[in-house]
Structure 1
Amino acid sequence: MSVPAPQPLSTPSPPPPALQAIEEAAPSGQPLSRAAWVLMAVVALVPAVTAVAQLGRIHPDEVYQVLEPAWHRVHGYGVLAWEWRDGLRNWAVPLVVSWLLRLANLLGLSHPQAYRALIALPQAALHGWMLLATYRFAARRAGVAGGLLAALLVGLYGPVLVFAGRTMSESFSAAFLVVGLEALDRQERLERSGLLGGLALGLSVVARYGSAVFVAAALVWLVLARRWRMLAFTCLGGLAVVLGLGALDWATWGSPFHSFFAYLRFNVLTDGVVQQFGASPAGFYVPVLFSALPVWFWLTVPSGLAEGLRRRAVSLPLFCAGVYLAAVSATPHKEERFLYPALVLLLLGAAPAVGGWLMHASRAVRIRWGGVTLALASTVASAAHYPPGDLRADQFRAIVASTRDERASGLLIVNEGLWGAGGFFFIGKNIPWLTCDWPQDWAFQRAIHDPAFNRAVSFEGRALPELQAAGFRVVGQVGRETMLARD
């Protein structure tokens, strides 16, 4: 979306000192001012700090597709989900996390929250890189101040605050997509930009195979734009990632691209995913889009469509997001989290128009900063319309607290299933643990009759009388979770 020619609404007035310092910074491709760097760094750290402080999970995949396989890789024990038995996942991200866990062991970090914080550092750096790419993309269209505001609109977007600090494949993939598409948008140093774009887009697919749709759309966009040199070097950069993925699968699964082909068979070539997880109607994502996208995004749609028709072109992020939305809407199995990368790209495509208009349409301080405040407020508030569900954050913190005692030899978690719990990663030691819903469940009866199970966590007081009758006593409370112990 392009920025309309600014029309002053009042007599120009000098910008505030903070804005003046930003506007005097170097343009896109050159260093930002120190104040802008600090601001972007703070915004980039918010999701990671929130995730580490909260713990919990927004989806079981956060634990059982990244953290738990990495823990198993390092310690030789852990819960491996069915994908890791059937080979539907590649080991790239869990391997990186496993190296960080080994580093944590060398540093003496034994508390789950401590080594979870160590894992968050490179992800926070990746998120910062994404925001910097957002700034560069927007600054080419809206100037330095408009680019910085666009980066803030993306960085403070509700779903980004929820997802960006989480160890989800969508979180990693979305960041690489933004970096890659920004590189392909450049008009200078085509060889270097193409290689970077290809590498980043390739890594987005390694992190999440479903993002291959975005990459295919980006390549089609380059063909339609007749950017042949950029296309060639993009393919070259992507080829390096493809070869690396083939070698990784060969080393870990026994054959090149084993995980990718297994993914295709389960999700595309057969109805395995529908049989296991069900199907949803084609319009499943429509209400999610209308509720999750901030108000200012919809205000840019008319002008963006008009500009696209006039120029007979659409911006790269919006094109990729549109193709992806069509693809996932046609796919039978649907989940809200699948939309996250598309939501980020939609904001990346629209934010420059808003940033440019607010920074240049008027020098009237009240109008400008009133608009900025409303835009940022609607951006942050969008988290309320994109709920991650029950984070079970208090449960995870209760599990961590219950198992820190050296005398803890077994753990029972009441009113939670296996895939909702935190796994050995958050227990932090090789002790037996079970989950159950009701006192009559087999797991509950097994635990209360086995003296090794001397720690318990109960969600919302479920089965407290039965636990106390079995010798457990209440030792603490974490939010909705009750911690119990017995000698």
Structure 2
Amino acid sequence: MAALAVVALLPAVIAVAQLGRIHPDEVFQALEPAYWRVHGYGVLAWEWRDGIRNWAVPGVLAAFLKLAGMLGITDPQGYRAVTAVPQLALHAWSLWAVYRFTARRTGVSGGWLAVLLVGLYGPVLVFAGRTLAESFSTSFLVVAMEALDRRERETRAGLLGGAALGLAVVTRYPSAICVLTALLYLLVARRWRMLAFTCLGGLVVAAGLGLLDHLTWGSPFHSFFTYVRFNVLSGEAAARFGSAAPGFYLLPLVTAVPGWAWVAVPLGLGAGRRGVSLPLTCAAVYLGVLLVTAHKEERFLYPALVLGVLAAAPVVANLLTTRVPPSARWGVTAMALVTGLVSARWFPPQDLRADQFRAIVASTRMGGATGLLIVNEGLWGSGGFFYLGQRIPWLTCDWPRDDAFQRGLRDRTFNRAVSFEDRALPELQAGGFRIEKRIGRETLLVRD
């Protein structure tokens, strides 16, 4: 259990120590709405005006943000650590589910090996501590996969699996693909009792979502129906954010799936009497839907990657614990873990801009900040008020000629500046700023 706790803690430690963001949604669909809930000010993205999101995740994060305030934690990195606590607990729960899912097939030693294989998988280390919808939802899906795999106490397992599936959808609506797949899987397997109680558990969560939307948006399931209209029925998502051919996902798949999983997934297709596992089925169907969906982003692959690795873990664990000679077992296991770790190098492929977020935190941590100018970054790439931690004006711009830059230079209220890769550094210094420190590729400047 100690090993599980350590492995579960790693993504949270990485996210809090590193800061940055995989995608703007990490800030503006979770942390910033939570900050707005607690403090009454913040940047609300268009989704929170149109009602395309529900308040479940920001509501939970807001509760922990309030707790941080009660404890006197006002440093942005400090209260970011407090808001990581519920996600840390969820991730630990999902790793326990990985253990149970694998131990059921390979025994105790295989179960703990699977915890290492999945928990130290590169994309899991990167995503599982990040406040992205994909991160929350995938953890709930893993919990659901294990619960629905049980053959004992099916009433309890079905209720748990259904609730976890429901929460996977609440935290990310596209996970409904996996929910429908799971229900069809149980139907084909004729597991009637499990199916009935899975539906019941899911309906309880659905009722909670309906009530939440009624209280926050004025009508039950407002956010769900608005989301479906925008992303599925209208085609606006592809028109606004772009579309791509199925080949878009080829390179991320090749680089993100570890070598051992490429070997294990085909072997797992004929996993004895059990047949194709539920996680593998859900991963395949979900990936198929992604391929035909017009709007594509690399992060959308994360649920499929984790479910695929979950399906592969028992096969690999069985090979390592029963077929590899004891003399070579440690070396082969280490190689498998390394192949999983190195995939974090390419997935996600975007620049996390972690040094920029650390520089923003440092700009107010030193005290005396009355305004901040961020050079070479747009609004949605910034850390919002959450990482600023104070109600002071701040501007983003790309070039010295931009109006925001000129305004920040003229107005002495803006006495802090952060420049990416020394963009506009001579102009900032000519305007009275001096270099305070360098944080990675960022330069933090101050002026009296």
Query: Paired residue for 1:367?
Result: 328
Matched letter for residue 376 of structure 1: L
Query: Paired residue for 1:214?
Result: 178
Instruction: Check whether the contact 1:147–1:356 (CA below 8 A) recurs between aligned residues.
Output: no
195, 199, 214: which one aligns with 1:231: 195
275, 284, 292: which one aligns with 1:330: 292
Matched letter for residue 439 of structure 2: V
**Cα shift at 1:385:** 2.9
Matched letter for residue 348 of structure 2: P
Matched, 1:419 2:380: yes
**Cα shift at 1:405:** 3.7
Q: Distance in 2 between matches of 1:388 and 1:241?
A: 34
Matched letter for residue 317 of structure 2: G
Matched, 1:355 2:317: yes
1:393-408 aligned at under 5 Å gives the runs 393-408=354-369
**Cα shift at 1:312:** 8.6
Q: How far does the alpha carbon of each residue in 1:409-439 deviate from its partner, in whole angstroms, 9 at most, with x for none?
A: 1000001111111000010010000000100
402, 406, 410: which one aligns with 1:441: 402
Aligned-residue sequence identity (percent) comes to: 66
- SS of equivalent to 2:365: coil
1:11-410 aligned at under 5 Å gives the runs 37-305=1-269, 307=270, 313-362=275-324, 364-410=325-371
Matched letter for residue 406 of structure 2: Q
Q: Which structure 2 residue ranges, 5 or more long, are not aligned?
A: none
- SS of equivalent to 1:484: strand
Q: How far does the alpha carbon of each residue in 1:131-152 deviate from its partner, in whole angstroms, 9 at most, with x for none?
A: 0000000001111111111111
**Cα shift at 1:480:** 1.1
> CA, structure 1 residues 312+97, in 2 after alignment: closer, same or farther (shift >3 Å)?
closer
**Cα shift at 1:311:** 5.1
> CA, structure 1 residues 312+236, in 2 after alignment: closer, same or farther (shift >3 Å)?
closer
Instruction: Check whether the contact 1:267–1:273 (CA below 8 A) recurs between aligned residues.
Output: yes
**Cα shift at 1:174:** 0.4
Over alpha carbons, which structure has the higher Rg?
Answer: 1
Instruction: Check whether the contact 1:47–1:163 (CA below 8 A) recurs between aligned residues.
Output: yes
> CA, structure 1 residues 429+302, in 2 after alignment: closer, same or farther (shift >3 Å)?
closer
Q: Distance in 1 between matches of 2:338 and 2:130?
A: 23
Q: Distance in 1 between matches of 2:17 and 2:203?
A: 39
Moved more, 368-377 or 93-102: 368-377
Q: Distance in 1 between matches of 2:247 and 2:442?
A: 37
**Cα shift at 1:388:** 4.0
Moved more, 216-225 or 119-128: 119-128
Q: Distance in 1 between matches of 2:250 and 2:175?
A: 20
Q: Distance in 2 between matches of 1:312 and 1:162?
A: 32
**Cα shift at 1:328:** 1.0
Moved more, 398-407 or 89-98: 398-407
> CA, structure 1 residues 388+106, in 2 after alignment: closer, same or farther (shift >3 Å)?
farther
Q: Distance in 1 between matches of 2:434 and 2:252?
A: 44
- SS of equivalent to 2:15: helix
**Cα shift at 1:387:** 3.4
- SS of equivalent to 1:74: helix
**Cα shift at 1:324:** 0.5
Q: How far does the alpha carbon of each residue in 1:123-176 deviate from its partner, in whole angstroms, 9 at most, with x for none?
A: 111111100000000001111111111111000000001000000000000000
- SS of equivalent to 1:403: helix
**TM-score (normalizing by structure 1):** 0.90
Matched letter for residue 423 of structure 1: G
Which of structures 1 and 2 has the larger relative contact order (alpha carbons within 8 angstroms, sep 6+)?
A: 1
Matched letter for residue 280 of structure 1: A
**TM-score (normalizing by structure 2):** 0.98
**Cα shift at 1:283:** 2.5
Root mean square deviation of aligned Cα = 1.1
**Cα shift at 1:361:** 1.4
Matched letter for residue 248 of structure 1: L
- SS of equivalent to 2:444: strand
Q: Which structure 1 residue ranges, 5 or more long, are not aligned?
A: 1-36
Instruction: Name segments (4+ residues, structure 1) moved above 3 Å.
Output: 310-313
Q: Distance in 2 between matches of 1:279 and 1:58?
A: 20
Matched letter for residue 3 of structure 2: L
Q: Distance in 1 between matches of 2:274 and 2:63?
A: 48
Q: Distance in 1 between matches of 2:69 and 2:266?
A: 54
Q: Distance in 1 between matches of 2:420 and 2:439?
A: 10
- SS of equivalent to 1:475: strand
- SS of equivalent to 2:374: strand
